[in-house]
């Protein structure tokens, strides 16, 4: 097993532990909504400190339920992850292409396979051979 595979496996195990440990340890069992998020926690703290506080802004869209709000947040996270993965993949592909161009490994793949195909096949056949007319053209 290569070093990169070991590191990737360890990182995957760490991410799984971060997802499972809060559930397994029962963190948040004493709360009404254990995993509501930082916005709800901040709102609760503000209303406890200053009950007369009025927000400066109101949301543009208020989802009808918490489940829809969670799904929209998950969709936003998925789109963000997709954009990041695309950018990282594009950057890696460009670096690999530059590395191939520097080493000359891409020379065989980058050459035009039709080289020589656009040469005049009728040269020397009598038409257009040195008389100033286009190849294959008869005047």
Task: Compare 27 and 24 and report the one with higher pLDDT.
Answer: 24
Q: Is the predicted pLDDT of residue 65 greater than 80, yes or no?
A: yes
Q: What is the mean pLDDT of residues 55-73?
A: 87
Question: Taking the model in full, what pTM does it have?
Answer: 0.45
Q: Is the predicted pLDDT of residue 3 greater than 80, yes or no?
A: yes
- DSSP type of residue 2: -
Summarised one tens digit per residue, pLDDT across range 80-138 is 999 999 999 999 999 999 999 999 865 555 555 555 555 555 555 555 455 555 555 55
Confirm if 127 and 137 have CB atoms less than 8 A apart: yes
The confidence score (pLDDT) of residue 86 equals 97
Kindly list the distances between the CA atom of residue 3 and the CA atoms of 41, 88, 93, 125, in Å, as whole numbers in the listed order.
41, 21, 22, 64
The confidence score (pLDDT) of residue 55 equals 84
The confidence score (pLDDT) of residue 114 equals 52
Q: Tell me the two tokens of residue 44.
A: 């609760």
**In angstroms, rounded to a whole number, what is the distance separating the alpha carbons of residues 77 and 69?**
12
Confirm if 124 and 118 have CB atoms less than 8 A apart: no
Summarised one tens digit per residue, pLDDT across range 32-42 is 666 677 777 88
Confidence of residue 6 (pLDDT cuts 50, 70, 90): very high
**In angstroms, rounded to a whole number, what is the distance separating the alpha carbons of residues 127 and 106?**
39
Compute CA 9 distance to the chain's CA centroid, rounded to the nearest angstrom: 21
């Amino acid at each position: 097993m290569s070093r990169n595979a070991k590191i990737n496996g360890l990182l995957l195990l760490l991410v799984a532990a971060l997802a499972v440990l809060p559930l397994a340890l029962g963190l948040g069992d004493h709360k009404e909504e254990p995993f509501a998020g930082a916005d709800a926690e901040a709102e609760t703290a503000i209303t406890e400190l200053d009950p007369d506080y009025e927000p400066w802004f109101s949301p543009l869209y208020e989802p009808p339920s918490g489940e829809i709000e969670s799904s929209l947040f998950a969709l936003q996270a998925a789109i963000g992850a997709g954009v990041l993965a695309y950018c990282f993949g594009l950057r890696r592909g460009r670096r690999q292409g530059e590395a191939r161009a520097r080493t000359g490994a891409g020379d065989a793949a980058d050459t035009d396979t039709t080289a020589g195909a656009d040469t005049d096949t009728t040269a020397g056949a009598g038409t257009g051979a040195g008389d100033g007319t286009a190849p294959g053209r008869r005047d």
